[in-house]
Chains A and B, each alone.
Chain A
Amino acid sequence: MSANAHAGHDSHSHSHTDDHAHGSLRSYMVGFWLSVILTAIPFYLVMSGVIENKQLTSIVIMAFAAAQIIVHMICFLHMNAKSESGWTLMALLFTIIIVVITLSGSLWVMYHLNANMMAGHDMSQLP
């Protein structure tokens, strides 16, 4: 009885991991071609300099990178809300929060530090 239950559980858990651990040919091909497009466009934008405004170009290529990261997560890493009863998504969301805090915090603080320490910035006002 117990062995039976074990085997049942085993085969269930196996098919369970099979479902999203390997994905399908379709998901890999969709992911690949989307990645090719989402890579080619930012390279084209920077190499040809179609958009005059550099700041706008950076925002556009960062949007393409974010889109491609999402494509990779879904098509290649098979992320979804169900795998491991949602714990992979939880870990990912937690990591994203920490990454955003680390990046934006470091850039923000150090930018202001640089701006305020710049020689000649406001020297005449100093006593």
Chain B
Amino acid sequence: MDLAVKHNTSVEASAFYVTDEHHAEGGSTMLGFWIYLMSDCLIFAVLFATYGVLGANYAAGPSPRDLFDLRLVAVNTSMLLLSSITYGFAMLAMAKGRVGAMQGWLVATALFGLAFIGIELTEFAHMIHEGATPQRSAFLSSFFALVGTHGLHVTFGLIWLSTLMVQVARHGLIPANMRRLTCLSMFWHFLDVIWIGVFTFVYLMGMLR
């Protein structure tokens, strides 16, 4: 009996102790970053749900039809899509080890991203100038919360992008930098995915109301 118990515990102990478990440095970064993106996705889901619930409460204020200019949104959408593809080209250049080409594509990405932010801020400024501030109605509160959060993400993506460009210029394409660039690529494409939801759910469906 005693022997059997002893035997059991030793078997269990050996099951937990795996000697050849070895992870290369940063080997789990991609999965971890993916899980961060998924949690970010939940933040946006909650903001979308809030907008979905409150989006029609105008409080006798302006409605999407009065405020949105779909041509501007179309330009903005193309800016973000173009920045996505230029980032893709940067990743391809990185895989080939061509630092110059990669930095060039990253600059293009940053410019398209800046154009996106610029157009969005112009739109916000125009709306606020017309009195459509976040305080005006529940629709506008939820609109600014959702679109503003996306814009903030893009802004932080741009800061991260410029930081990485400096890093690459200083240290070259070391494994750590390649890992960071891959993370940022996931972040950037993820923001484009969220924008698909924004322009469909907020702008296009807002115009249909």
Contact = CB atoms under 8 A, between A and B. Distances in A.
Chain A binding site: helix, strand, loop or mixed by DSSP? helix
Contacts of A84: 30-31, 34
B53 interface: yes
Interface string A98-119: 1100110111001000000000
Contact of B81 (A35, A54, A105): A35
Interface stretch (B85-93, B153-161, B162-170): B85-93
Interface of B: 22, 24, 27, 30-31, 34-35, 38, 41-42, 45-46, 48-50, 52-53, 70-71, 73-74, 77-78, 81, 84-85, 88-89, 91-92, 94-95, 182, 186, 189-190, 192-193, 196-197, 199-201, 204-205, 207-209
Contacts, number: 131
A13 B89 contact: no
Contacts of B95: 18, 22
B38 A103 contact: no
B45 A88 contact: no
Contact of B38 (A54, A57, A64, A94): A94
A77 B52 contact: no
Contact of A65 (B46, B52, B73, B200): B200
Contacts of A88: 30-31, 34
B41 A61 contact: no
Chain B binding site: helix, strand, loop or mixed by DSSP? helix
B208 A57 contact: yes
24 contacts: A9-B24, A10-B24, A23-B92, A28-B92, A32-B84, A32-B85, A36-B78, A36-B81, A42-B200, A46-B207, A47-B70, A47-B71, A61-B205, A65-B196, A72-B193, A73-B193, A77-B189, A88-B30, A91-B35, A92-B34, A98-B42, A103-B45, A105-B49, A106-B53
Contacts of B89: 25, 28
How many residues of A sit at the interface, in one of the four size bands? 35 or more
A17 interface: yes
A92 B38 contact: yes
Interface string A25-51: 100100110011001001100110000
Nearest to B85: A32
A42 B196 CA distance: 11
Contacts of A42: 200, 204
A32 B78 CA distance: 10
A99 B89 CA distance: 31
B91 A23 contact: yes
Nearest to B88: A28
